[in-house]
């Protein structure tokens, strides 16, 4: 009986040993799923500054050998330096910016870094028709309805490039300035408003600000108007000046919006240092008639 027990234990350990020696299969990530890290050299006596295309939202360090944070008064600048003089080997850090880009960096120590000021390429704007950049990926943002900035940018670019006028009854024309709402589109709980401003005069139209607000259709006299302002989550081709005899267009991205029958969405464009202000109204029937972006054939 004892012999059988001993043999059983020996066989069990032999089986476990054989299992342990089996080759474990590992998966290799495809190249397009790997973010190629940038190489950064840092030192103890000097600070390296990295300028990003948009505001920095997140910084994570791989070790205590380095220190990094956002530069005071500059939300798109990260400063980094060595916390340990002459540290050996390599460490890393990662950055996420407000436009949804995820960056990866490998860090090594060097007494005299080759670069102390680095500007990251605004790949998202410079390559609106491109795919995923090899040196970064894009994270989904809550403000974009869980969509990636890459998709939102492609939609804005496509709308701007196609330049269709699907709406012909909304706009404003006065003081030699004509403002039009050319189309409203919807995708993943985001509204895209394609607008144009035409300056028929010879005097440039400098834009102070553009705002969107929801107001009551009817307001009793001596009653304060209830206004609810809406901030665009993205803007393509941000406007500052419309030269004389020129036409400019842009695309605003707003959170999903519907209105009760007694409310309106008003778009106001104010002239800086002037009085040629423009405004037009959008009814709920216009919003719910927004065209799906799927019909645009994205670039």
Residue 7: pLDDT over 90: no
What is the rounded distance in angstroms from the CA atom of residue 192 to the CA atom of residue 214?
A: 17
**Using alpha carbons only, how large is the chain's radius of gyration in Å?**
28
Residues 6+ apart with CB under 8 A from 164: 182, 183, 194
Q: How confident is the model at residue 55 (pLDDT cuts 50, 70, 90)?
A: confident
**Least confident span in 128-137, 239-248, 249-258, 275-284:** 128-137
* C-alpha of 216 from chain center: 32
**Sign (positive or negative) of CA dihedral 7, 12, 14, 15:** positive
Rama region for 109: left / alpha / beta (φ>0; ψ in -120 to 50; rest): beta
What is the rounded distance in angstroms from the CA atom of residue 269 to the CA atom of residue 282?
A: 14
DSSP H helical ranges for the chain: 2-21, 123-126, 149-162, 284-288
pTM over 0.75, yes/no: no
Please give the structure tokens belonging to residue 76: 């798109």
What is the rounded distance in angstroms from the CA atom of residue 209 to the CA atom of residue 242?
A: 13
Residue 294: pLDDT over 70: yes
Please give the structure tokens belonging to residue 230: 């809406």
**Tens digits of residue pLDDT in 97-146:** 887 788 999 999 999 999 999 998 776 666 665 555 555 566 767 778 77
> With contact defined as beta carbons under 8 Å apart, do 254 and 232 qualify?
yes
Percentage of the residues of the chain whose pLDDT score is greater than 70? 79
**Least confident span in 104-108, 139-143, 151-155, 255-259:** 139-143
**Tens digits of residue pLDDT in 23-34:** 567 777 666 667
The pLDDT value given to residue 53: 85
Q: How confident is the model at residue 153 (pLDDT cuts 50, 70, 90)?
A: confident
The pLDDT value given to residue 99: 78
């Amino acid at each position: 009986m004892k012999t059988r027990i001993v043999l059983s234990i020996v066989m069990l350990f032999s089986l476990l040993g054989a299992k342990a020696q089996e080759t474990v299969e590992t998966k290799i990530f495809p190249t397009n799923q790997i973010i190629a890290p940038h190489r950064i050299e840092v030192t103890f006596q000097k600070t390296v500054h990295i300028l990003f295309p948009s505001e920095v939202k997140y910084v994570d360090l791989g070790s205590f050998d380095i220190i990094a944070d956002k530069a005071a008064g500059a939300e798109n600048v990260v400063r980094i330096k060595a916390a340990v003089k002459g540290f050996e080997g390599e460490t890393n850090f990662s950055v996420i910016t407000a436009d949804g880009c995820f960056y990866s960096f490998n860090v090594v120590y060097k007494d005299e870094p080759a670069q102390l000021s680095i500007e990251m390429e605004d790949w998202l704007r410079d390559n609106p028709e491109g795919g995923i950049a090899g040196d970064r990926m894009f994270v989904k943002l809550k403000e974009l309805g869980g969509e990636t900035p890459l998709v939102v940018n492609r939609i804005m670019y496509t709308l701007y490039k196609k330049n269709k006028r699907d709406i012909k009854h909304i706009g404003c024309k006065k003081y030699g300035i004509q403002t039009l709402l050319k189309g409203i589109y919807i995708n993943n709980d985001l509204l895209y408003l394609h607008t144009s401003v035409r300056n028929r005069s010879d005097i440039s139209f400098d834009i102070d600000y553009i705002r969107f607000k929801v107001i009551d259709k009817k307001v009793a006299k001596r009653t304060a108007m209830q206004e609810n302002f809406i901030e665009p989550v993205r803007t393509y081709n941000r406007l500052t000046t419309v030269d004389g005899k020129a036409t400019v267009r842009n695309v605003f991205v707003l959170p999903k919006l519907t209105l009760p029958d007694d409310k309106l969405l008003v778009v106001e464009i104010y002239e800086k240092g002037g009085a040629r202000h423009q405004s037009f109204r959008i009814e709920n029937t216009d919003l719910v008639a927004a065209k799906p972006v799927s019909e645009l054939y994205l670039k």
